Amino acid sequence: MPVTAQDINRTAHLAKLRIDEGEIPAYVRNLNNLLKLVDDMSRVNTDNIDPMSHPMEGQTQRFRKDNITEENQRELFQTIAPQVTEGLYIVPKVIE
């Protein structure tokens, strides 16, 4: 099913991405071209094949012991923040 402008708007909203009206047709076209390319996948039988998210067989994310290993470096990390007051990140009002 081809992608429409409505799909792009919905997806952009999910991705919290502002897209200009004028750019939407190009995004529709490009995503449809990509999905055509990707359509070949549907012709392959993958019943009984496990999905693979890690390239190495049997690898899982490594866990570590739940011990504190880091120091609080909030001041250092906040030197690069756009807007900070008293150690808090400032955003436009969220709660009325």
Residues near another protein (CB under 8 A) = 3, 7-8, 11-12, 14-20, 23, 27, 30-31, 33-34, 37-42, 44, 46, 49-56, 59, 61-62, 64, 73, 76-83, 89, 91-94
Minimum CB separation of residue 12 from another protein in Å reads 6
Q: DSSP 3-state assignment of 36? A: helix
Alpha-carbon dihedral 36, 40, 43, 44, rounded to 10 degrees: -150
Nearer to another protein, 18 or 85 (CB): 18
Minimum CB separation of residue 85 from another protein in Å reads 13
Nearer to another protein, 14 or 68 (CB): 14
Element (H or E) spanning 24, and its range?
Answer: helix 24-38
**Is the separation of the CB atoms in 8 and 27 below 8 Å?**
yes
Phi, psi of 13, rounded to the nearest 5 degrees: -65, -45
Minimum CB separation of residue 24 from another protein in Å reads 11
